[in-house]
Structure 1
Amino acid sequence: MTIFLKANWENIIMANYEIDPKILFPFLPKGVELDLYDGKAYVSLVGFMFKKTKLFNVPIPYFGTFEEINLRFYVVRKEGDTVKRGVVFINETIPYPIVAWMANKLYKEHYTVVPTKHEITTERKSKKVQFEWLLSKKWNSIYVEATTEAKVMEKQTLEKFIYEHYYGYTKIDEHNSEEYKLQHPSWLVNQVLDYKIECDFTAMYGDSFSVLNTTKPEAVFIAEGSSVGIEWKRNRLNIGNERH
């Protein structure tokens, strides 16, 4: 299978909020349904480093390393006995217009461009990771202090549910969606010791998500990450009669 994009994703912070499913329905692509954990729907504010980016195995000079901030939620597509767990992005934010333009043009993604920066400090037993993005002349941020000891995610946990989704779904219009596949191993995680989130969800993601301004995350996780591949092939789902 041809790999369109390959990169290292590192220090992947996930701040996870329980949310009313009704808020997500307008963003739900055709052909998938919400993936719930213990009957609850979640959205995640995500920050991570994008490094060593390659398109069709060709390095991108000058623009291959950057921060990404995104808001995503979780879906599932059932095809007979096959269950595909995936994510839908409300918005993905990066600092480089050319990279955003390419993703939006080729794949009808929802990339926007704002200035970003990061600070990562590592000591023997702990690390501090902070991602920041500038919006309306104010810096927003997501910060985690965590152990450096890496461990395997435990089964049947919210942490594993959040990280273990290997498909992406994009809403093209009311009747069409696209499905693509991500390739990466199950990530190792670090124990979060402390966190701080300063995000204007309304300004960043619209009035639909303003409730998150006054909502405390149910959990905050950080994974070490790995090399990630995104397959070139995208399946167009045209399911006019299918219901969510």
Structure 2
Amino acid sequence: MDQWWNDLAFIHWPVEPASVVRFFPPGTRPDVWSDGQTYVALVPFAMRRAGFGRGLPVPYFGSFLETNIRLYSVDDAGRHGVLFRSLEAARFAIVPFARIGFGMPYTWARMSLDATSRRDGDVVTYDSVRRWPRRGLRSRLSLRLGEVVEPTPLETWLTSRWGAHSRVAGRTVWVPNEHAPWPLREASLLELDDDLLAASGVRAAGVPLRALWSPGVRARFGRPSLVR
């Protein structure tokens, strides 16, 4: 699959690894940074021009807003990836397809992305209200965009993820992806009113890291393989 991830924000919190082990499928475990912590992220963005192979993007269904809550994973083969706790999507048809075909916990939500230019800088606001399941869960994030930054080693480790782990038909799978390095800007957190992190069952162990925003990258997903 070929797609673009645009207008993407990263909000990260540290997490005690022992508190999230139960969420990881067999053959995987929490990926831990040198500080002894793993991390959880709130990541809203716009999916654009998604399609199969290198052909044309899928009309209508290939572009939609998405917000995910993700943990950081590693398997016994040493592949570092992400493990999704939830993925809000503004296209209902995506939800059953992704749940059945890829084991991804997609949900249906009403979503919006608003970007405005102000005298004190550009502001980006993401809004999401869950429609199904657990109707009514909300997430609102507003950021003032700052300067282009070089990511710290930890930020590089968190954003440079080359695949995802999932559970499909009772088996743990690895779905590889590739993309260019993220062009990143630091961002000031103006507002964060979020139900999704608490609903995921993940409890943060500290304050969030600095917020990051990116205009986006092109990503390609490969064929899933079993985790042994």
AA in 1 matched with 2:87: E
Shift in Å, 1:134: 1.0
- In the alignment, structure 2 segments of 5+ residues that lack a partner are none
- The structure-2 alpha-carbon separation of the partners of 1:151 and 1:220, relative to structure 1 and needing over 3 Å to count, comes to closer
- Whether the 8 Å contact between 1:53 and 1:60 is mirrored in structure 2 is yes
Q: TM-score, normalised by structure 1?
A: 0.81
Instruction: Name the SS for the 1:161 alignment partner.
Output: helix
Is structure 2 residue 192 aligned with structure 1 residue 197? Answer: yes
Pick one of 221, 234, 238 that aligns with 2:212: 221
Pick one of 161, 166, 171 that aligns with 1:170: 166
- In the alignment, structure 1 segments of 5+ residues that lack a partner are 239-244
Structure 2: distance between partners of 1:225 and 1:202:
23
- How many residue pairs were aligned? 222
* Superposition CA RMSD, Å: 2.4
Instruction: Name the SS for the 1:160 alignment partner.
Output: helix
Q: Deviations over 1:147-183 (max 9, x none)?
A: 2x434434x2x2112101112100347x730001111
- Whether the 8 Å contact between 2:187 and 2:210 is mirrored in structure 1 is no
AA in 2 matched with 1:166: W
What does residue 161 of structure 1 align with? 157
Structure 1: distance between partners of 2:123 and 2:30:
33
- Whether the 8 Å contact between 2:138 and 2:196 is mirrored in structure 1 is no
Q: Deviations over 1:167-200 (max 9, x none)?
A: 2100347x73000111101111002133421111
- The structure-2 alpha-carbon separation of the partners of 1:140 and 1:193, relative to structure 1 and needing over 3 Å to count, comes to closer
- Whether the 8 Å contact between 1:19 and 1:41 is mirrored in structure 2 is yes
What does residue 69 of structure 2 align with? 71
- Whether the 8 Å contact between 2:138 and 2:195 is mirrored in structure 1 is no
Structure 2: distance between partners of 1:171 and 1:22:
20
Instruction: Name the SS for the 1:97 alignment partner.
Output: coil
- Whether the 8 Å contact between 1:85 and 1:165 is mirrored in structure 2 is yes
Shift in Å, 1:124: 9.2
- The structure-2 alpha-carbon separation of the partners of 1:124 and 1:77, relative to structure 1 and needing over 3 Å to count, comes to farther
AA in 1 matched with 2:30: L
- The structure-2 alpha-carbon separation of the partners of 1:193 and 1:228, relative to structure 1 and needing over 3 Å to count, comes to same
What does residue 49 of structure 1 align with? 46
What does residue 107 of structure 1 align with? 102
Identity of aligned residues (%): 19
Shift in Å, 1:137: 4.5
Q: Deviations over 1:214-237 (max 9, x none)?
A: 964233222232111111x11112
Shift in Å, 1:23: 2.8
- The structure-2 alpha-carbon separation of the partners of 1:234 and 1:138, relative to structure 1 and needing over 3 Å to count, comes to closer
Q: TM-score, normalised by structure 2?
A: 0.86
- The structure-2 alpha-carbon separation of the partners of 1:14 and 1:234, relative to structure 1 and needing over 3 Å to count, comes to same
